[in-house]
């Protein structure tokens, strides 16, 4: 929609460049009784709305960030002349209960603005170059529906005033600084407040973009954790909230003197129980108090942390856990503590990394929606969480971040200059829509994204040498795999060609689903050429290995159907002898899946439960409650990408296989591996809940399964099958003789 369709004749207003965190207020009259009142509002970057002193709604970080509108200072535009697509979300609220009504009743609207993702510090080059879409700005339209059938509009415009808020310095990643002593604003959002010294707002041009009413899930305070005081120094109290979370500490001042309160957040502790600055990532809150009894917290950001250091003039009274309001719709439990930890750590990590309906790579360093991490974990996230609304939004972000001219897909959606590669990152343009279709059965996403995918394939062809994908835009990263425990050795062109071939196969399948068979010969031809290039450059006919079987390279090839029996044998031999992972974010997922798919269930299980140096067990015994970025604990301790393997606990160990579309056909085929005698879990699909529980003894196996109505399901063991009915099914059989003895 155009801006006028959303806001009518309302005007965008701003404090221009004089203040990035203003309060904006105005008063208006309601002369008679109303039946209903509604506001449509957008504050860029993020806003909080108050009516008569009460905050409207409990949503945080609204509106959800997007590629708002054209921004010349964005790296892709500035360096390459790329053109992205754009949208801005607006919020709608029923505000009837917040208003004073009756004979000439006066009301006050107050809006608190902060930059969010709309404007970053121009000097910040640590993660993404500094950029600015423009000034923070506000537009709203209040629609009043009177009992007598008449209507009226209250519109943003020249009558509003602004002043500096107590938020005197804001940085989305590094924190917020407040001065409640210098700026006294008690009652600023109430009728009758003296705003004579406030400034008149400036009227600014409406952003040129497409406007939508926000329909994605909001961020909010999901739960509260009581912090535990574990240590104190001469200057600080040290608190532990028990798990790595995203959110904000809540602080209370001790005494009523004017003082500076400081809290710092970190993921880990030093040996002396002080917080570790390496994982603190400059996450700080500063508050100059005014002696008023209030709670101090972040208001326009979230931190990623477990430990909090608080200056001794204050105490931590609460920890608010904040992320997008996505529900966990799965469960897993077994007699393996490692697998139980892996499931729980992945769930916590994934939730910590969903903000503004964007799956991020980490919740503190970058906070960005990397397409590599996002496509890698998409299936797992869709299976285990009620994430459909989140992916509805993120699919639009992926679409918007594709260059209209060349078809190039950025490494982050919404776009922020960052690192990645053309395969594992850009191929999200086909992989995420395909998985969405498989999970939810919505064919429209395939229809929408197939042309975009074909445009990206043209881009990959243009960035190939000797039919290998070898480059991206000049000066950008061109990664293959990432975060291997030792130095990356698997060749990037090999990995990028793998993703291109895999995506070509996906596109061919999509063409068959959509009946676009005329496109298939060209895609098959490209696939054959790229496979030949992979074979000629990386296959050793004397050994059967690809790229010397380094860091899972053979598994990449086997996943494409390449190589011979030696190729697979060498994967198995490698990991039997090595006894742990040597792979990066993509290789870890691929090696695990290929072992399961080729019948080496025991070897896959042993990797998942390995106690080697590079293992999930090593993370578990370190006390981690989320998944680190590196096997070696470098940098962030909260990255979901290695958690992509958690889906195999359900697909292979429990054996819940989506054979059709949206679980209309299900195969239950548990892999009864040595070392796992009891396992149970459930998934909540669009068809309903599917659960599996099994217990194994030396002689018998008991399997209990619950199947929803209208799902065609069957159980299989050692090649023998049995149809299942809706409801609870129980099968008990001899392990030696199979299900013929049911």
d(C-alpha 217, C-alpha 678), whole Å: 36
Maximal CA-CA distance, the chain:
92
∠ CA 588-589-594, rounded to 5°: 105
* Paired tokens of 312: 């001794």
CATH number of the domain to which 275 belongs? 2.60.120.260
Q: What is the DSSP string of 517-571?
A: GGGHHHHHHHHHHHHHHHHHHHEETTTTEEGGGGGGHHHHHHHTT-S-HHHHHHH
How many structural domains comprise the chain?
4
89, 64 Cβ separation under 8 angstroms: yes
Between 242 and 291, whose confidence is greater? 242
Is 445 found in the same domain as 587? Answer: yes
Q: Is the pLDDT assigned to residue 129 strictly greater than 70?
A: no
Residue in the block written with tokens 């965008």: 12
Identify the domain boundary among 303, 324, 345.
324
Average pLDDT score over residue span 469-474: 95
Q: Is residue 71 part of a domain?
A: yes
Please enumerate in sequence order all residues whose Cβ is within 8 A of that of 195, keeping only pairs 6 or more positions apart, or say none.
25, 161, 163, 188
Q: Is residue 172 part of a domain?
A: no
Give residue 411's Cα distance to chain centre: 14
The residue among 382, 356, 371 whose CA lies nearest residue 685 is: 382
Q: Is the pLDDT assigned to residue 739 strictly greater than 60?
A: no
| Residue range(s) defining the domain that contains residue 303 | 221-324
Q: Is residue 174 part of a domain?
A: no
Q: Is residue 173 part of a domain?
A: no
Please enumerate in sequence order all residues whose Cβ is within 8 A of that of 125, keeping only pairs 6 or more positions apart, or say none.
none
Is 226 found in the same domain as 212? Answer: no
Q: Strands 87-94 and 210-213, how do they pair? A: parallel
State whether residue 512 is helix, strand or coil: helix
Is 597 found in the same domain as 673? Answer: no
Is 433 found in the same domain as 308? Answer: no
Is 455 found in the same domain as 345? Answer: yes
Is 504 found in the same domain as 385? Answer: yes
720, 740 Cβ separation under 8 angstroms: yes
553-558 long-range contacts, CB within 8 A, separation 24+: 553/490, 553/494, 553/587, 555/587, 555/590, 555/591, 555/594, 555/595, 556/490, 556/494, 556/495, 556/498, 556/587, 556/590, 557/498, 558/594, 558/598
**Residue 125's pLDDT is what?**
56
Running DSSP on this structure, what letter comes out for residue 302? -
d(C-alpha 454, C-alpha 10), whole Å: 41
575, 552 Cβ separation under 8 angstroms: no
Q: Is the pLDDT assigned to residue 363 strictly greater than 80?
A: yes
Is 627 found in the same domain as 492? Answer: yes
Q: What is the DSSP string of 212-261?
A: EE--SPPEEEEEEE--EEEEE-SSEEEEEEEEEEEEEEEEEESSSS--EE
Could you write out the three-class secondary structure of 401-447?
CECCCCCCECCECCCCCCCCCCCCCCCHHHHHHHHHHHHHCCCHHHH
Q: Is residue 579 part of a domain?
A: yes
Mean pLDDT of the chain: 95
Q: Which pLDDT tens digit goes with each residue over 300-310?
A: 999 999 999 99
Is 118 found in the same domain as 31? Answer: yes
For residue 683, list its beta bridge partners. 330, 690
Is 263 found in the same domain as 211? Answer: no
Q: Is residue 363 part of a domain?
A: yes
State whether residue 41 is helix, strand or coil: strand
CATH number of the domain to which 681 belongs? 2.60.420.10
For residue 51, list its beta bridge partners. 54, 109
Is 595 found in the same domain as 520? Answer: yes
Is 489 found in the same domain as 383? Answer: yes
- Helices and strands (DSSP H and E) totals, the chain: 15, 38
Running DSSP on this structure, what letter comes out for residue 297? -
Identify the domain boundary among 653, 675, 702.
653
**Residue 734's pLDDT is what?**
81
∠ CA 179-21-299, rounded to 5°: 70
Is 236 found in the same domain as 98? Answer: no
* Paired tokens of 168: 């005197």
Q: Which pLDDT tens digit goes with each residue over 526-548?
A: 999 999 999 999 999 999 999 99
Q: Is residue 658 part of a domain?
A: no
Identify the domain boundary among 292, 324, 356.
324
Q: Is residue 44 part of a domain?
A: yes
**Residue 742's pLDDT is what?**
47
Q: How many residues would you count in the chain? A: 742
- 699 pLDDT band, cuts 50/70/90, is confident
CATH number of the domain to which 362 belongs? 1.50.10.10
Average pLDDT score over residue span 337-357: 98
**Residue 554's pLDDT is what?**
98
696, 673 Cβ separation under 8 angstroms: no
Q: Which pLDDT tens digit goes with each residue over 590-621?
A: 999 999 999 999 999 999 999 999 999 999 99
**Residue 624's pLDDT is what?**
97
């Amino acid at each position: 929609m155009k801006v006028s369709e959303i806001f009518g004749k309302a005007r965008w207003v701003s404090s221009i460049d004089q203040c990035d965190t203003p309060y904006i207020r105005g008063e208006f009259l309601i002369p008679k009784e109303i039946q209903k009142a509604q506001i449509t509002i957008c504050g860029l970057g993020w806003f909080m709305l108050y009516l008569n002193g009460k905050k409207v709604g409990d949503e945080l970080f609204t509106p959800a960030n997007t590629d708002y509108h054209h921004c010349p200072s964005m790296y892709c535009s500035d360096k390459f002349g790329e053109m992205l697509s754009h949208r801005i979300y607006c919020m709608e609220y029923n505000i009837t209960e917040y208003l004073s009504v009756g004979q000439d009743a006066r009301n006050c609207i107050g809006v608190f603005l902060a930059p969010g993702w709309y404007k970053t510090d121009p000097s910040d080059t640590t993660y993404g170059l500094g950029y600015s879409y423009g000034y923070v700005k506000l537009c709203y339209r209040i629609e009043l529906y009177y009992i007598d059938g008449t209507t009226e509009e209250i519109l943003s415009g020249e009558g509003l005033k602004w002043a500096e808020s107590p938020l005197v310095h804001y940085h989305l990643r590094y924190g917020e600084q407040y001065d409640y002593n210098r700026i006294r604003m008690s009652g600023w959002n109430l009728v009758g407040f003296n705003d004579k010294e406030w400034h008149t707002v400036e009227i600014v041009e409406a952003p040129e973009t497409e406007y939508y009413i926000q329909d994605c899930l909001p961020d909010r305070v999901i739960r509260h954790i009581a912090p535990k005081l574990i240590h104190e120094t001469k200057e600080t109290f040290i608190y532990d909230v028990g798990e790595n979370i995203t959110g904000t500490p809540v602080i209370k001042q001790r005494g009523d003197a004017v003082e500076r309160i400081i809290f710092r957040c970190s993921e880990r502790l030093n040996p002396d129980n002080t917080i570790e600055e390496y994982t603190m990532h400059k996450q700080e809150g500063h508050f100059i108090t005014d002696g008023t009894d209030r709670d101090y917290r972040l208001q326009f950001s979230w931190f990623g942390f477990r430990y909090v250091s608080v200056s001794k003039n204050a105490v931590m009274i609460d920890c608010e856990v904040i992320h997008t309001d996505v529900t966990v719709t799965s469960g897993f439990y077994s007699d393996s503590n490692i697998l139980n930890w892996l499931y729980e750590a992945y769930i916590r990590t994934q939730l910590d990394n969903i903000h503004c309906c964007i799956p991020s790579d980490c919740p503190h360093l970058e906070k960005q929606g990397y397409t590599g991490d996002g496509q890698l974990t998409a299936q797992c996230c869709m299976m285990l969480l009620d994430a459909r609304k989140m992916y509805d939004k993120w699919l639009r972000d992926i679409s918007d971040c594709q260059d209209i001219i060349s078809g190039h897909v950025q490494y982050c959606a919404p776009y922020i200059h960052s690192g990645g590669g053309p395969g594992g990152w850009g191929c999200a343009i086909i992989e995420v829509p395909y998985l969405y279709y498989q999970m939810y059965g919505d064919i429209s996403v395939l229809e929408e994204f197939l042309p975009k995918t074909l445009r990206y394939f043209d881009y990959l062809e243009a960035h190939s040498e000797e039919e290998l994908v070898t480059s991206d835009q000049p000066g950008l990263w061109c990664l293959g795999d990432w975060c291997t425990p030792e130095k990356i050795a698997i060749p990037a062109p090999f990995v990028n060609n793998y993703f291109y071939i895999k995506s070509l196969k996906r596109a061919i399948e999509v063409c068959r689903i959509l009946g676009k068979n005329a496109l298939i010969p060209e895609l098959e031809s490209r696939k054959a050429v790229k496979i030949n290039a992979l074979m000629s450059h990386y296959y050793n006919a004397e050994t059967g290995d690809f790229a010397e079987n380094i860091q899972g390279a053979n598994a990449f090839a086997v996943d494409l159907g390449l190589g011979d029996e030696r190729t697979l044998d060498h994967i198995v031999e490698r990991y039997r002898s090595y006894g742990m992972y040597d792979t990066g974010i993509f290789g870890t997922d691929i090696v695990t899946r290929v072992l399961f798919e080729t019948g080496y269930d025991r070897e896959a299980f042993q990797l998942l439960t390995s106690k080697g140096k590079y293992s999930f067990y090593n993370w578990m015994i370190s006390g981690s409650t989320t998944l680190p970025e590196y096997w070696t604990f470098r940098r962030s301790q909260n990255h979901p990408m290695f958690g992509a393997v958690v889906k195999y606990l359900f697909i292979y160990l429990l054996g819940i296989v989506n054979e059709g579309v949206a679980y209309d056909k299900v195969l239950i085929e548990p892999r009864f591996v040595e070392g796992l005698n009891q396992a149970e879990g459930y998934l909540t699909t669009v068809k309903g809940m599917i659960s599996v529980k099994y217990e194994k003894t030396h002689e018998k196996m008991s399997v209990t399964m619950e199947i929803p109505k209208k799902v065609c399901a069957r159980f299989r063991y050692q090649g023998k099958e049995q149809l299942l009915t809706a409801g609870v099914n129980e099968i008990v059989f001899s392990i030696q003789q199979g299900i013929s003895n049911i």
